[in-house]
Chain A
Amino acid sequence: MSSSAQTKPARQLRCCGASGCRSAGSEELQAALEAARDAAGHTAQELAIKPVGCLRLCGRGPLVACDGPGGTTLYGAVPPTEAGALIEATRNYDHASDTLQASRLDPQLPFFALQSSVVLEGCGQVDPESIDDAIAFGTYSQLRRCLHELTPEEVREQVKRSGLRGRGGGGYPTGLKWDTVALQPPGPRYVVCNADEGDPGAFMDRSVLESDPHRLLEGLAIAAYAVGADRGYVYVRAEYPLAVERLRKALQQARRAGLLGSGIDGTSFALTIEVRVGAGAYVCGEETALLQSIQGQRGMPRPRPPYPAQSGLWGAPTLINNVETFAAVPVILREGGDWYASMGTAGSKGTKVFALSGAVTNTGLVEVPMGTTLRSVVEVIGGGVPDGTPIKAVQTGGPSGGCIPAELLDTPVDYESLLELGSMMGSGGMVVMGETTSMPEVARHFMRFSVNESCGKCVPCRAGTVQLAQLLERFVERRASPADMAKLDALCRMVKATSLCGLGQSAPNPVLSTLRYFRHEYEAACRQPALCDRP
């Protein structure tokens, strides 16, 4: 989307270096490519080999994109032994070896063709460890524009017009949150980026952090300017070492380049950002628990109000948004709020990034406009279950969400539709389940997770999740009684209604949604199935 002022080499190979491809051997491949290029007598000017972030189709890693005069070709699962052949193919594809031809991916595949890169526009394009490359791509230009040309009110106006809603799962209107923080009485304010992506099956934020950390920093800095904050934190989970490393590097580069610190870009605007690394507590993704953790405390949520926007870090107004939310901000300012709002549905604007995994052919990162149907995400883009059997359900929203059955796959993906189905958008994890997956087992899987992750502060969550897990155990082991069915239902509603924070309130969702759509599986697990329907 952005044109670079630098002279680009005629041909280049972009190698994905995000953790998915790394685990598939991308570092070895990149080294082999460099060696093969040198052996073939090409210079870096003629043929650049560039480490980049996520190229989306994680299941086929290591991925390499080859840009040449004839366009871009993508290769997946390239063994290092094919490095020489790949270098040769950048000149003349007709001579490509059979192995190489087999690993060529068609860019017209729905997986690529149906995606719209907005938040992810830099992922796979920029070198995540180079601020120069990010700047050449256009990163930080919107921050500069905001600082020099726009008032904080004007920035917030664009965000409001965009209709952007919190991408961490809650879906609270971002512009409204920014206004609330900005309009608090004078005094210190903080901005916090929630990068504690803990939902099993979600890796969107990791990909953004590993692939385009400067975009996140730009969004965070614009937010700080818009709400009048001069200090910020990025709270990242410790399970993402590469993301932490790249984020720290990006922060250091931005400070050196004068894009963070005091007197940014010759203005009076100052901003200090620190990274805080979590220590493996899922509950810290809940905003009040996250604030506790940043302050060096046990990550225990507290009742709201007051909301962090009024009283957050050290009692000061604090803006908390998720990685994807901040990463959407620069492009909203560049193209305008109205442009962003032209995508999506009436209530859910823009695009959403999903992490597609489970029993699906194409696993990886998918960005589509809000309102795209689940079917087109999992069947068309995802390619359905690998062995061609039907999809049984799609799990969205992690342990707070639910399982959506195959017959409802034509539902558009937006905040409201998913809530109506008893699931939720969540952060964007989408796990496809085939016929062989047992729903009571899925429910028990999530409930065990919630038992493990309950912080223990309130009784409904601390004790309720344990009881629910034990009840589900009876169903999985096929020794439940009809009375257990009624108990399960009642206990779910109680935990949902009375827990203190979002973790407890949504912990019963996987059970409730599977009870709603796959009740027969629970009934079949009863000793006297015929009696199960009776109250």
Chain B
Amino acid sequence: MTATSPARPAASKPSPSAEEIANRKIAQVIRRHGAQPDALIEVLHQVQEIHGYLPKQALDQVARQLRMPLSRVYGVASFYHLFTLEPPTPHRCAVCLGTACFVKGGADVAARLEQRLGVKLDDAAGNGTWAVQHVSCLGACGQAPVLVVDGVLLTKLPIDQPEALDAVFESAGMPSAGAVPA
């Protein structure tokens, strides 16, 4: 197999492709869990960490190496909200719509984000670059309303001050609707 990933220095044999590396990593994860079927969820977490999502061929590999039907792997992967079967957009936001955030205007935060980024809430494809999803509670109720942008938690969003809110979005790197690449 020829390497498609950027060449690594000082490799005498052809360097393995990104896919091969990922496959090996997954096999390693499964071995570490003793190939026990009850480790399926843990394994899927780590596969998702490797790929960013759960690609079909990785699910095949997990089923084979955990010696269980693909239907069971797929059943679990599709049941839990945190597992995603589609490649994610490069940037993601998660708006908290838990009760405390709801009381403090979390829904307005979501609406403003939809407008700003030209996306629909909970549409994983988003605008190709950004996607906005809701989460049910991040346990940061004391700082409501909150938002996670690319893994960074933003708290006490100034929902009553549109300009200040826009400034928060701006500093989090979110383009405004006009500037979004097609």
Residues of chain A whose beta carbon lies under 8 Å from any beta carbon of chain B: 19-20, 23-24, 58-59, 61, 197-203, 206, 238-240, 276-282, 293-299, 355, 357-359, 363-364, 395, 398, 429, 431-434, 437, 442, 445-446, 449, 452-453, 455
Contacts and interface: CB of A to CB of B under 8 A. Distances in A.
A390 B144 CA distance: 20
Nearest to A445: B102
Contact of B38 (A295, A355, A359): A295
A398 B82 contact: no
B35 to A, nearest CB: 12
B144 A239 contact: no
B103 A437 contact: yes
Interface residues of B, number: 37
Contacts of A281: 79-81
B42 A280 contact: no
A530 to B, nearest CB: 31
Contacts of A295: 38
A238 B46 CA distance: 12
A61 B42 contact: no
A327 to B, nearest CB: 16
B143 interface: yes
B169 interface: no
A197 B137 CA distance: 10
A23 B100 contact: no
Contacts of A200: 97-100, 102, 136-137, 141
Contacts of B137: 198-202, 239
A445 to B, nearest CB: 5
Contacts of B115: none
B26 interface: no
A240 B137 CA distance: 10
A272 to B, nearest CB: 14
Contacts of B136: 198, 200, 282, 449, 452-453
A58 B143 contact: yes
Contacts of B79: 281, 298-299, 455
Interface in B117-157: 135-144, 146, 153-155
B34 interface: no
Contacts of B42: 276-277
A458 to B, nearest CB: 15
Contact of A296 (B37, B81, B142, B143): B37
Contacts of B37: 296
Given A238-B45, A294-B38, A297-B76, A357 B141 contact: yes
Given A19-B140, A201-B100, A279-B81, 19 more contacts: A19-B139, A20-B140, A20-B142, A58-B141, A200-B98, A201-B99, A201-B141, A202-B141, A203-B139, A203-B140, A203-B142, A276-B41, A297-B76, A355-B141, A358-B141, A398-B99, A431-B99, A433-B103, A445-B97
B75 interface: yes
Interface of B: 36-42, 44-45, 75-76, 79-83, 97-100, 102-104, 135-144, 146, 153-155
A276 B142 CA distance: 27
Contacts of A23: 140, 143, 146, 153-155
Nearest to B39: A296
Nearest to B146: A23
Nearest to A448: B97
Contacts of B98: 200-201
Given A202-B137, A277-B45, A58 B142 contact: yes
B138 to A, nearest CB: 6
Given A238-B82, A294-B38, A358 B104 contact: yes
Nearest to A238: B82
B76 A59 contact: no
A357 B142 contact: yes
A238 B135 CA distance: 12
A398 B40 CA distance: 30
Contact of B41 (A24, A203, A293, A433): A293
B5 to A, nearest CB: 29
A442 B144 CA distance: 16
B142 A364 contact: yes
A47 to B, nearest CB: 28
B99 A20 contact: no
B146 to A, nearest CB: 8
B139 A240 contact: yes
Q: Which of A279, A297, A298, A364 has the most CB of B within 10 A?
A: A279
B140 A395 contact: no
Contacts of A445: 97, 99, 102
B41 A279 contact: yes
B143 to A, nearest CB: 6
B103 A358 contact: yes
A294 B137 CA distance: 22
Contacts of A398: 99
Contacts of B40: 296-297
Given A294-B38, A299-B79, A358 B155 contact: no
Contacts of B75: 298
10 contacts: A58-B143, A200-B100, A277-B45, A281-B80, A295-B38, A299-B79, A358-B103, A359-B104, A431-B103, A446-B99
Contacts of A239: 135, 137-139
A355 B75 CA distance: 35
A296 to B, nearest CB: 4
B140 A429 contact: no
B80 to A, nearest CB: 3
Contacts of B82: 238, 278-280
A381 B60 CA distance: 55
Contacts of A19: 139-140, 153
Nearest to B73: A296
Contact of A358 (B81, B99, B140): B99
A359 B97 CA distance: 15
Contacts of B41: 276-279, 293, 296
A296 B38 contact: yes
A239 to B, nearest CB: 6
Given A202-B139, A357-B144, A280 B80 contact: yes
A58 B143 CA distance: 7
B143 A298 contact: no
B112 to A, nearest CB: 18
Contacts of A20: 140, 142-143
A431 B80 contact: no
Contacts of A449: 136
A446 B97 CA distance: 10
